[in-house]
Structure 1
């Protein structure tokens, strides 16, 4: 592996457990549409493909069939309003996330966020967490015409920051992250604790599987330090 200069992170299921806020927003939307609430486990399995798909999955579960275009549009607008009110409240970070980001940033690594969450929600979440200054670039699911698993967002970050894909590493919790990274020609770490539709992330064959994000410090800092000392 080339020396990694750029680390690209997914957000939901990788850095933060956003299901509590997403479930609140989904259930407010469902209530407005005249439906009962969804269970947390259901919402956890609906997350990962962006807000449109989250809303669509919630409507399919409530209706028992595909929503029509008007239902989808109305529900998405209601979801956005609801989520904007709760997105950055009581954020839950996975163990080791804050310290790992701090150490990687202090070591001189360039950090970026590539999420399928609509961009409008992301800056407030990062600001509430005190992380805004850590990331050189932030892309949401609607920042480009394509989103993960398309490699375009990851390659866009590389171009904007002038760092080759071979010197970039993607960190995510779902098959979308692994597929996007592989198609972009970059290495990828799959985290076991996020949202992958109930499937083991190892089935997607990332380059490394980690149950703790702090493993990145060994992979990126200690290994490179040993190479620098012996190379």
Structure 2
């Protein structure tokens, strides 16, 4: 067992950049939104750096990059949501080691939950398509509560739902927002070295543990 799991009862996972590479589908929706406003496409490389604070912030960053003065962020966000809803999981894939990790943790009776900043409406289709639905006892989107990561509220809510003290919780994510939320909630933290962290090494955020693959947690 990985040292990160010692005395842990609850493991909370981030989604985008941790369990799934969703950037291809997000980038397609972003570029279609920009095209609606006669703006140039951003492309997947930029979108990878913009993911992490929810869809509204993603659109805001895309418009700022395009110097889209005068374009309503709220209106563009509405268009983005419509585009993304049409194809939320066409090109999205699981990262290596995800199924192995989740299956092993479930078999060892860890309580598994999902806390993401992605809008909750998109989660059922994505989780079902990728075979992830049955692993999690609780799923929270970025709009499920009044606050989202890096605020600790979603993790504290997860701990309460599982009747587990925060000190027995582990937050697994790919970005500084996951690490910050975990630390603020009193969770232990694990960060994956891949994923989306705005182009910065996740080690700079000071997670308790680093892994190159989620399989390392169970092998």
Smaller-chain TM-score range?
over 0.9
Give the alignment's Cα RMSD to 1 decimal. Answer: 1.3
CA distance in 1, matches of 2:214, 2:125: 23
Larger Rg: 1
**1:23 is the counterpart of 2:21:** no
Q: TM-score, normalised by structure 2?
A: 0.95
Aligned to 2:148: 147
1:59 and 2:63 correspond: yes
Please name the residue that 1:229 is paired with: none
1:91 Cα deviation (Å)?
2.7
Matched residue of 1:113: which SS? strand
> Is 1:88 aligned with 2:89?
yes
Helix, strand or coil: the match of 1:190?
Answer: strand
Alignment-derived partner of residue 117 in structure 1: 118
**Moved >3 Å (runs of 4+):** none
Q: Unaligned stretches of 5+ in structure 1?
A: 219-231
Deviations 1:64-96 (A, max 9, x none): 65x66xx11110010000001111223311111
Contact 2:150 2:178 in 1 (8 A): yes
Alignment of 1:125-144 (within 5 A): 125-144=126-145
Specify the alignment match of 1:46 in structure 2.
Answer: 50
Q: Which residue of 2 aligns with 1:164?
A: 165
Q: Secondary structure at the match of 1:63?
A: coil
Residue in structure 2 matched with residue 209 of structure 1 by the alignment: 210
CA distance in 1: counterparts of 2:39 and 2:141, whole angstroms: 29
Deviates more, 1:56-65 or 1:16-25: 56-65
For this pair of structures, how many residues does the alignment match?
Answer: 215
SS at match of 2:11: strand
Instruction: Check conservation: 2:93, 2:130, Cα contact below 8 A.
Output: no
Q: Which residue of 2 aligns with 1:107?
A: 108
> Paired residue for 2:191?
190
